[in-house]
Amino acid sequence: MIIDIILPLSLVFIMFSLGLSLTINDFKNVAKQPKVFAVGILNQMVLLPLVAFGIILLFGLTKEMAVGLMILACCPGGVTSNILTKMAKGDTALSISYTAVVSIVSVITLPIITGFSIAYFMGAEAPEISVLSLGITMFLITAIPVAIGLLVHHKAEDFTHRFEPKASKISAILFVIIVIGALSSEWDTFVNNVTILGPGIVTLIIIMLLMGYSSAHLFKMNEAQAVSVAIATGIQNATVGITVGNLILPSGEGLSLLSLPSGVYGILMYLVCLPIVFGYVKWVHVKLVGNPG
C-alpha cells in the first residue's frame, strides 16, 4: 500500500518540478526548428524502442525483464537529460523542448508499445492490461503535473524562480529513494539478472548516444544541437519506468519485476553518461584551445 501511494505521488512531484522549468517558448521552439526537432523525436520515439527490442533479443532477456526494458525505452527524458546537456555545453533550450513535448506524446505511445510488449514477451502469462486505462493514468500522473508546473511558472514567475531549485533537489532525492527501493525490494532477482541486465542496458545507452550524435551531424546540425539530440536520445526518465512497471504488475510491499530494468538503468545511466559527458567536454576544450602540453 505504501509503495502504491508514495511511488505515483513521487512521480507527480517530479513531473511538476519538470513543468516548473518549462515555458511556453519551449513548445514554440518546435515550430522554429522543425528539422532539428524531428530528428530528435524520431530517435527517441521510434529508433529507441526498436534498438531496445533488438538488445532484448541479443542478450536473451525474457518475460518481465524484456517488458521492463521496453517500458524504459518508451519513457520520456527528464530533468537529468537537461542537466547533462548543460554540462556538455549543448543546446539546453532545445533539450528542454524535447523533454516538454515527449513527456506529453509518451502518454499515448508508452501504453501502446507496452501493451504490445506484454503480449509478445509474456504470452499466456501476461497480466491483463487496458491500454486506454494506462494511457489515462499516464496522463494524470505525468502530463497534468507538467501542465500545472508550466502554468505556475507562467502565472507566478517570482515564486517559480525561488522554488524551482528546491523542487529540483527534492526531485533528485525522491529519484534516489525510488531507485534504491526498486533494487533493494527485489535484490535477489537483481543479483540473478544483473549479468544480463547490466550489459544490455549499458549497450542501449551507448548505442543511443552514438546514434543521436551521428544522426544530428548527418542532418547538418551544429555541435551544440548534436549534443542535445544525443543526450535526449540516450537518456530516459527512470522514475516513469519504475512507476509504470509497478502500476501494471503490483507486487505487494516491494516493487514490480517490470520496474527492475528501470531501477538498474537509474544507476548505470550516471555511471555511463557522466564519464562520457566529462570526456566530451574535455575533448572539445582541447580541440578549441589546443593542448598546452
Task: List the domain boundaries for the chain.
Answer: 2-285
User: What distance in Å separates the CA atoms of residue 78 and residue 170, rounded to the nearest whole number?
Assistant: 14
The single-letter DSSP state of residue 253 is: T
Out of 3.30.70.2740, 3.40.50.1110, 1.20.1530.20, 3.30.565.10, select the CATH number for domain 2-285. Answer: 1.20.1530.20
* Per-residue pLDDT at 54: 94
* Per-residue pLDDT at 201: 92
User: What distance in Å separates the CA atoms of residue 251 and residue 33, rounded to the nearest whole number?
Assistant: 44
The single-letter DSSP state of residue 140 is: I
* Per-residue pLDDT at 182: 64
* Per-residue pLDDT at 71: 93
Q: What is the pLDDT of residues 155-211, one digit of tens each?
A: 888 888 888 888 878 877 877 777 776 667 667 777 777 788 889 999 999 999 999
* Per-residue pLDDT at 58: 92
Segments of the chain with pLDDT less than 70: 1-5, 26-27, 29-30, 181-183, 185-186, 251-255, 284-293
Cell 542478450 sits on residue: 59
* Per-residue pLDDT at 56: 94
- How much is the pTM? 0.82
